[in-house]
Amino acid sequence: MSRPVFWLLSLPALLIALLSWRVFFLPMKLVMPEMGNYLAHVPWGVWGHVIFAPIALALMPLQLRTRKDALHRWAGRAYAVSVLVAALSSLMLLPVSVASSFARTGFGVLAVLWIGFTALGVAAALRRDLARHRVWMERSMALTFAAVSLRVVMMPLLAMGWTVAETYQITAWGSWLLTLAVVELRRMKLKRAP
């Protein structure tokens, strides 16, 4: 991966991860009101998602730069556990979500695919099939990066007066379909290159 592409992906990922952890210093209802509303119903779901999704997002750039060393393996294990906890936590939030059934379905599919792609990547690594490992982990990271694209799409909509629940009509599907499509198009382009 080229250095400019690495930084293009890494900086927003690290920024969103750090911003997500502001809930440790400020009241959640102030900084993430949509998540704060769920605390009474599914606190484990809220905290699991708010803590572990940013960990996965913060570890993603490290995984992109390191290969075949102990740091990559240990960070990869932490990434996989973080994805599992964050995705399961998000599934816990769906029944009490203010989002429409269309948006809840989008977030649910994202969570299931996030677990599945990551599990397939880990399984390939354990088999020492590094080519397949890379393919599945790139897909997993595309879904991790959906946290960034969700906010990029959501901010202008909120500025136009949409509610968070209304933005989910677009972001619940668009945030991860967009990033996954970019990864798949890149893979197709690399296959066609001489």
C-alpha neighbours within 13 Å on the C-beta side of residue 143: 25
CB half-sphere exposure, 24, CA atoms < 13 A: 8
Element (H, E) at 85: helix 70-93
| CA–CA separation, 178 and 100 (whole Å) | 20
Render 91-123 in DSSP notation, one character per residue: HHHGGG-SS-HHHHHHHHHHHHHHHHHHHHHHH
> Between 112 and 29, where is the model more confident?
112
Taking 90 as the threshold, does the pLDDT of residue 168 lie above it?
Answer: yes
Could you give the number of structural domains in the chain? 1
- Decide if pLDDT at 8 tops 80: no
- Whole-angstrom Cα distance, residue 189 to residue 44? 42
Q: How confident is the model at residue 32, as a pLDDT?
A: 73
Nearest CA-CA partner of 32 in 183, 190, 154: 154
The pLDDT of 72-93, averaged and rounded, is 94
* Rounded Cα distance, 98 and 104, in Å: 9
pLDDT at position 63 is: 79
d(Cα 12, Cα 191) in Å, to the nearest integer?
28
Digit-coded pLDDT (tens) for 139-152: 999 999 999 999 98
Mean pLDDT over each residue of the chain, to the nearest integer: 87
Band the pLDDT of 26: cuts 50, 70, 90.
Answer: confident
Can you give the pTM of this predicted structure? 0.88
* Spatial distance between the Cα atoms of 132 and 162, rounded to a whole number of angstroms: 41
pLDDT in tens, 40-56: 788 899 889 989 999 99
Report the distance separating Cα 116 and Cα 126, nearest Å: 15
From the number of C-beta atoms within 10 Å of its C-beta (0-12, 13-18, 19+), residue 120 rates as middle
pLDDT for residue 3 = 58
Whether the Cβ atoms of residue 79 and residue 122 lie closer than 8 Å to each other:
no
45 contacts 93 by C-beta, under 8 angstroms: yes
pLDDT class of 79 with cuts at 50, 70, 90: very high
Q: List the domain range (segments joined by +) for residue 10.
A: 3-192
Lowest mean per-residue pLDDT among 48-57, 113-122, 182-191 = 182-191
Q: Quote the distance between the C-alpha of residue 21 and its chain's center.
A: 15
